């Protein structure tokens, strides 16, 4: 069975005792999840969905599933809060820190561990139903073992003035662990909100963030969403975000991934009603031995839905990128307008990318396109810049920046543009510097 599965099973036994007050529906969900997890274990590369992403290192590591939460110094907290405005939610090692967080009055924020009990009726229809334990072993592990998390409810008609900054911070001076991040975000009818999720680390060497975020957008709700993954280079980051969109809702998102030793970021959108819109843009930048796996799945279930996906990768060193972008257009989804593109730039001879766009169309009146490309810095472009006196390194940087910039410029998330450009430039410097070594 493997040492780590046993370990998670033991953790589950302990959890059952401490969480006796979980409602019956949750207890059943957890049982099913753990049974499924123990039976299947972590995925291997023999499974189609994990063909290019080897999680052996996670399987063989022994992460303490119920990791300890250390105290953060005031300085650290201040640094994390900097430039993140009035709506700031701090989550340390998966646990919501209410004392260091604050939001505008009308936004309803509760610890999910409490909410499953105190607001069971509100939570039951959604938790574990958007991202079901059957999704994969990591979702199962999350459903089985999560103890806490965040429930955020945006009331009907509320227009949230400042973006909600969620900081998921990993910190463990005595050694890492398994940090379960669990978010359930519900945007009420006609509400409007922007959310920024940042994953970063303090004093810690290796850890495993297992994140599940379920987002429900009611009719006419509009959400802007930005996910910045800048975990520690020794970390594992497996994240699934599932959005369920109701009529006339809109979801505009950008995912920037630069950290972690192994990452899978699975962004899934169910366009579950008519007239919905989703825009998914993203960038993954890798160097050294990073493995960055970006998955998307947009499911057009009803008519007149519009989706637009554009992801770019820049891979240096020995890093590996994986992209799998799926679009499903169901039989009922007439007049679907769905587009998807993936472009990759390899900055070294040993960087790799596996890209797979996938389009499955069952309706007959649709407009769809998809494409993928892989390239290297164009020699002619480098020559042109150098022939104007720009040295080789700067020329390479200009071209790589230009490549990354395109997807940031096209994103509708104007408010994040400068920050994203800055983070990308920082990572590019590291990538190009490591090329020289």
Q: Which residues bind another protein (CB under 8 A)?
A: 378-381, 383-392, 394, 398-399, 401-406
Query: Nearest distance from residue 426's CB to another protein, in Å?
Result: 18
Find the helix or strand (DSSP H, E) in which 403 lies. Answer: helix 392-410
CA dihedral sign of residues 33, 7, 45, 345:
positive
For another protein, the closer of residues 286 and 396 by Cβ is: 396
Say how many CA atoms lie within 13 Å of 81 toward its Cβ. 18
Q: Which residue's CB is nearer to another protein, number 66 or number 398? A: 398
Q: Closer to another protein at the Cβ: 348 or 401?
A: 401
Closest approach, Cβ 404 to another protein, in A, equals 8
Give the nearest distance from C-beta 388 to another protein in angstroms: 4
Query: Two tokens at 393?
Result: 């390194």
Other CB atoms within 10 A of residue 132 CB: 16
Separation between Cα atoms, residue 71 and residue 39, nearest integer Å: 37
Backbone angles phi, psi at 13, to 5 degrees: -60, -45
Distance in angstroms (rounded) separating the CA atoms of residues 3 and 7? 6
**Cβ closer to another protein: 153 or 424?**
424
Least distance from another protein to the Cβ atom of residue 266, Å: 28
User: Strand 108-111 and strand 150-154: pairing?
Assistant: antiparallel
Rounded to whole angstroms, the Cα distance separating 94 from 72 reads 14
DSSP H helices, 52-91, are: 56-60, 74-81
Nearer to another protein, 112 or 400 (CB): 400
CB of 316 vs another protein, minimal distance in Å: 17
Smallest gap from Cβ 310 to another protein, in A, equals 13
Question: Smallest distance, Å, CB 383 to another protein?
Answer: 6
3-state secondary structure of 212: strand
DSSP state of 130: S
Q: Cα(134)–Cα(344) distance, rounded to whole angstroms?
A: 31
Closer to another protein at the Cβ: 335 or 386? 386
Nearer to another protein, 386 or 417 (CB): 386
């Amino acid at each position: 069975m493997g040492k780590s599965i046993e370990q998670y099973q033991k953790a589950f036994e302990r959890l059952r005792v401490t969480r006796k007050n979980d409602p019956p529906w949750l207890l059943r969900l957890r049982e099913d999840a753990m049974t499924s997890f123990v039976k299947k274990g972590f995925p291997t590369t023999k499974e189609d969905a994990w063909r290019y992403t080897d999680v052996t290192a996670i399987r063989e590591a022994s992460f303490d599933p119920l990791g300890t939460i250390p105290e953060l110094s005031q300085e650290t907290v201040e640094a994390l809060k900097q430039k993140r405005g009035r709506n700031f939610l701090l989550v340390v090692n998966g646990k919501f820190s209410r004392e260091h967080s604050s939001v505008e009055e009308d936004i309803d924020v509760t610890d999910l561990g409490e909410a499953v009990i105190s607001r069971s009726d509100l939570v039951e229809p959604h938790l574990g139903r958007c991202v079901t334990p059957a999704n994969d072993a990591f979702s199962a592990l999350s459903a089985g073992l999560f103890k806490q998390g965040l429930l955020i409810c945006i009331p009907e008609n509320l227009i949230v003035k400042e973006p909600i900054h969620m900081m998921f911070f990993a910190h463990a001076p005595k050694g890492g662990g398994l940090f379960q991040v669990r978010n359930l975000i519900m945007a009420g009818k006609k509400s409007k909100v922007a959310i920024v999720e940042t994953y970063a680390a303090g004093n810690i060497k290796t850890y495993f963030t297992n994140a599940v975020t379920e987002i429900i957008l009611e009719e006419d709700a509009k959400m802007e969403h930005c996910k910045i993954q800048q975990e520690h280079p020794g970390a594992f980051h497996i994240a699934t975000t599932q959005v369920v969109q109701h009529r006339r809702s809109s979801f505009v998102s950008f995912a920037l991934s630069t950290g972690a030793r192994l990452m899978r970021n699975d962004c899934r959108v169910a366009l579950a009603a008519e007239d919905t819109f989703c825009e998914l843009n993203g960038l993954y930048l890798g160097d050294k031995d990073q493995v960055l796996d970006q998955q998307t799945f947009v499911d057009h279930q009803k008519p007149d839905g519009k989706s637009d996906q554009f992801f770019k990768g820049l891979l240096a060193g020995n890093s590996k990128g994986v992209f799998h972008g799926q679009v499903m257009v169901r039989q009922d989804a007439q007049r679907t307008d769905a587009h998807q593109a993936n472009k990759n730039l390899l900055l070294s001879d040993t960087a790799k990318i596996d890209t797979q766009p996938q389009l499955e169309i069952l309706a007959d009146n649709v407009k769809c396109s998809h494409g993928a490309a892989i390239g290297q810095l164009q020699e002619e472009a480098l020559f042109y810049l150098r022939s104007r006196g720009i040295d080789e390194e700067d020329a390479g940087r200009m071209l790589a920046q230009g490549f990354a910039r395109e997807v940031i410029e096209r994103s509708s998330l104007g408010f994040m543009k400068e920050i994203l450009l800055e983070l990308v430039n920082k990572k590019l410097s590291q990538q190009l510097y490591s090329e020289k070594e």
